[in-house]
Amino acid sequence: MTADEYFDAHIPHRLNLLIAYRTRYSGNRAPCSIDPEFYRDLFRCAKDMSLLMARFFCGELGIYFDEREVAMKDSQNWKSRFGSTRVILSAIRSDPRCSALCDMYRAANHAVAHINPQGIDHSFKMSTDDQRMIAVITWIESLIREHIYRDAGRDLATSMSRPDNKMT
């Protein structure tokens, strides 16, 4: 994969998968908002995909969830891609959204991907729970902007404005 493919197609596609849930179901009544009860299958797909993409982006940012310690850890196998930088773990751990990120990572592993078959249910069932998830999605998006794009000398907004990356 070339740097242009990574920044202009690979990451924007996955970022759209991450933010689709927030875009469609945050309750902001934007023009692209969808009633979750009317299209329940789309709601569940968008939610599950956001959980998986949160897990994916943790890997891209150099962190992972340690089940034994129930905490975020540095990935031992992380390598910079095209000049991006690893997120500083202490910044993740000190952020008030860290516990919700851990919950999302655990939900991605257990409930969605079934990587770990224990506890296939997850804690994001109520609309109040969903607001925690939306806050983490926004946080991850800012980490992507800073560590994957800015630190590599790229602009996320430019990549997301390409025709194939625009959400409608």
Euclidean distance between CA atoms 39 and 138, whole angstroms: 23
For the segment 67-106, what is each residue's pLDDT rounded down to a tens digit? 888 788 998 889 998 999 999 999 999 999 999 999 898 8
The residue extents of the domains of the chain are 3-69+82-165
The answer on pLDDT for 60 being more than 90 is yes
Query: What residues does 72 pair with on adjacent strands?
Result: 65
Element (H, E) at 145: none
Percent of the chain with pLDDT over 70: 81
Q: What is the dihedral of CA 65, 88, 19, 50, to 10 degrees?
A: 0
For the segment 4-39, what is each residue's pLDDT rounded down to a tens digit? 999 999 999 999 999 998 888 776 655 556 666 666
pLDDT of residue 162: 96
User: Buried b vs exposed e over 84-113: b needs ≥16 C-beta within 10 Å?
Assistant: bebbebeebeeeebbebbbbbbbbbbbbbe
